[in-house]
Structure 1
């Protein structure tokens, strides 16, 4: 188990947050459990962190324990090739600390279908099931078979079947244990769920092709929704679409001491080259191309310094949805009580409330909306958590005033009230 001095600013994608009193990186399953148990036994604040991509932490010191699982092994209990009876399901087990995009790359390289649409999402395998990550027509819930966890309340390991995980839109049984109401932390289990993920077993399909399940992705590929294409082609297209919206993490973070070794070296190199090429292509500089490429590789892309999508798409009652403008996006959805509701677009609400791409609270503000995507709040360089919170509250208040809808943050927000 490694112990280093660090802050949340060092280990989160948005690059803000205070000093951490004790930061641990257990290298074994037992080590993870013991670290969690030790913090709980001492009554210390506990934060189990993945890739730090879905977290906004206050600037004040965190006087507790932060644990980052250093286990990143992926195993294939089944044969990777279809067996003689035509069975195409392949089970893959990944330890909680495995980088999520490393996992996706591994499955695509192995010729498996099921998570290629989730390419480029920052974070870890453990965090993926807490949040039930989703994008471009896929959700992690659709491929999870079981989740191995440590139950902090009953002090034992459990294997939770997917059917018992309480998966919903950006929700799971694990995440639900942290809140008593939207954005309202629970007293006993926050900012770490009652159930700490140890490993996840996925059931994927042996196939070199996957389904293009989202309109924006289909447009990028020049095909129709529902068409099938090679999973590697889908993965590449997803990465390009996400990059164009600034919704990929800054690959340069893996060159820092606090993040070194947390992602596959080959995947870091691929991401760095792609990011440099994108910045190079966007530059109108007269600098020679070889120099521009070198500079781009070293220049931070501030649109990528974010928590990703900062607000969840609201799911409204039919009555509340009826008050929205006629052109507001509407999708069938299910409310937490199981009744029919309507999901609308947080990005649409933000933009139509007057907060456009690049919006900042003041002219010299260090936090602002992405210049590419209104749903991302970004650190433009030197921002504090307070700067980001001020921007978030301004957007929340403006959307509520315009449409009567209070946006709920998607990230775990520690030490800041954004209700």
Structure 2
């Protein structure tokens, strides 16, 4: 098994915090990954897996356990049972943005709006990554995973993963444990074959972000280029020369609230319905129709509200930091907490707690962290 000299996690995570773990294993193949996980699980020691390190916030104390680095790589293109579509099976350690670039290069649509998101493919379904109205749940077919409880490898359909807004049954939410403890080995997506031709874009959020009218037709390459440009302007594309990218991306989730609670927020707060209204179809057999049709039940969808807007309008502007602290808000985007130079996890956590308190005091809402927290508390 490829056990290596442990590296400080500050060198392997985009927030740049964390000491060296007690033990580290580099798994470059699927078999190595499965063997490493089974060995760690049998030992009973604390563990976690590490991909791109872009969604982790690690504490200052060395991790007393094993870190398994997922370094697998590769894309397999397969025919889809549906005409005009293609299946891609991608190894968990493959770089996510490299996958998006591959899809765009081959004229495959469905993930282009998620260009520039850091991290690995295996992490994508865990929190159902998304951007500009596109989420992986829209294209995910299935995953291969290995279960901690049995050590067995299984193929699991997307419908069984409980994919929701930045969540799944696999995600370790702050203050809780995953519903299903497992590690993804590969991901299978179904993408639309566009041939690189321009086409109208569905989704109000994506069109608004790109300044498109409903009937404007653009290529997947055009979307990728403009999404990358937008993300760079917000410091959301990793760049060693830009200190605003030393972050875990969006540190807090955009909050999903009831429509009633959303009405208590200022009208200027950006918001989007989480799900569209469903048209109910009522069929009444003619022989039993008595002339009365019961009212159709209606439901009001929950609303996603902008955490960045809430932070800025609680009085915390871009670039905010405490005196002498090396942790601060990005100068480009209020939703990113950044390491401005050898900041400790304690400094970043102090800033995160202060932001939570200000937003709660001003708007009655507690923002939840998006990264996985290891050895650190908010």
With structure 1 as the length reference, what TM-score do the two structures score? 0.79
List runs of 5+ in structure 2 lacking aligned partners. 276-298
1:236 and 2:225 are equivalent in the alignment? yes
Equivalent residue number for residue 175 of structure 2: 184
Partners of 2:334 and 2:214 in 1: how far apart?
25
CA distance in 2, matches of 1:351, 1:311: 13
CA distance in 2, matches of 1:234, 1:2: 41
How far is the alpha carbon of 1:220 from its aligned partner? 6.8
Distance in 1 (CA, whole Å) between partners of 2:214 and 2:50 is: 35
Give the C-alpha shift of residue 231 in structure 1.
1.0
Counterpart among 308, 327, 341 of residue 347 in structure 1: 308
Show the counterpart of 1:106.
102
Distance 1:15 1:24 in 2: 20
Cα distance, 1:133 vs structure 2? 0.5
- Report the number of matched residues: 352
Q: CA deviation at 1:211?
A: 4.9
- Residue 263 of structure 2: aligned partner: 322
Q: 1:164 aligns with which of 145, 160, 163?
A: 160
In structure 2, distance between residues paired with 1:220 and 1:129: 23
SS in 2 for 1:197: strand
Contact 1:217 1:241 in 2 (8 A): no
CA distance in 2, matches of 1:218, 1:404: 31
Partner residue, 1:270: none
Q: CA RMSD in A?
A: 2.2
Alignment counterpart, residue 196 of structure 1, candidates 183, 197, 211: 183
Aligned counterpart for 1:143 among listed residues 135, 139, 144: 139
Q: Which residue of 2 aligns with 1:24?
A: 25
Deviation at 1:321, TM superposition (A): 2.6
2:244 matches 1:303: yes
Q: How does 1:399-418 map to 2 (within 5 A)?
A: 399-418=359-378
Indicate how the Cα distance of structure 1 residues 213 and 352 shifts in structure 2: closer, same or farther if over 3 A, else same: farther
CA contact (8 A) 1:136 1:213 kept: no
CA spacing shift, 1:221–1:184, aligned 2, 3 Å: closer
CA–CA distance in structure 2, aligned partners of residues 169 and 221 of structure 1: 22
CA deviation profile, 1:65-84 (whole Å, cap 9, x unmatched): 111111111111239xxx9x
For structure 1, which runs of at least 5 residues remain unmatched after alignment?
253-299
The answer to whether the aligner puts 1:4 opposite 2:5 as a matched pair is: yes
The residue aligned with 2:294 is: none
1:185 is paired with a residue whose SS is coil
Q: 1:10 to 1:225 in 2, by over 3 A?
A: farther
Query: Are residue 119 (structure 1) and residue 79 (structure 2) matched?
Result: no
Alignment of 1:2-401 (within 5 A): 3-78=4-79, 87-175=83-171, 178-179=172-173, 183-186=174-177, 194-207=181-194, 208-209=196-197, 211-213=200-202, 218=207, 222-225=211-214, 227-250=216-239, 252=240, 300-333=241-274, 340-362=301-323, 364-401=324-361
1:111 & 1:35 partners in 2: Cα distance? Answer: 37
What secondary structure is seen at the aligned counterpart in 2 of 1:354? Answer: coil
Paired residues of 1:213 and 1:226 also in contact (CA < 8 A): no
Structure with more of its chain in helix, by fraction: 1
Q: Which moved more, 1:393-402 or 1:223-232?
A: 223-232
Deviations for 1:284-305, whole angstroms, at most 9, x for unmatched residues? xxxxxxxxxxxxxxxx310010
Say if 2:85 and 2:190, in contact at 8 Å, map to a contact too: yes
How far does residue 3 in structure 1 lie from its aligned partner after superposition? Answer: 1.4
Question: d(CA) in 2 for partners of 1:70 and 1:127?
Answer: 12
**Whole-Å separation in 2 of the counterparts to 1:403 and 1:249:** 32
Q: Displacement of 1:223 after TM fit?
A: 2.9
Moved more, 70-79 or 59-68: 70-79
1:88-121, Cα deviation, whole Å (9 max, x unpaired): 1111110000000111111111121111111100
Give the conservation status (yes or no) of the 8 Å contact 2:133–2:205: no
Q: What's the CA shift for 1:327? A: 2.8
Compute the TM-score of the two structures, normalised by the length of structure 2: 0.87
Q: What secondary structure, in the 3-state scheme, does the structure 2 residue paired with 1:174 have? A: coil
CA distance in 1, matches of 2:79, 2:73: 19
Structure whose alpha-carbon radius of gyration is higher: 2
| Alpha-carbon distance between aligned partners in 2 of 1:413 and 1:211, rounded to the nearest angstrom | 40
Given that 1:313 and 1:344 are in contact with CA atoms closer than 8 Å, whether structure 2 keeps it comes out as yes
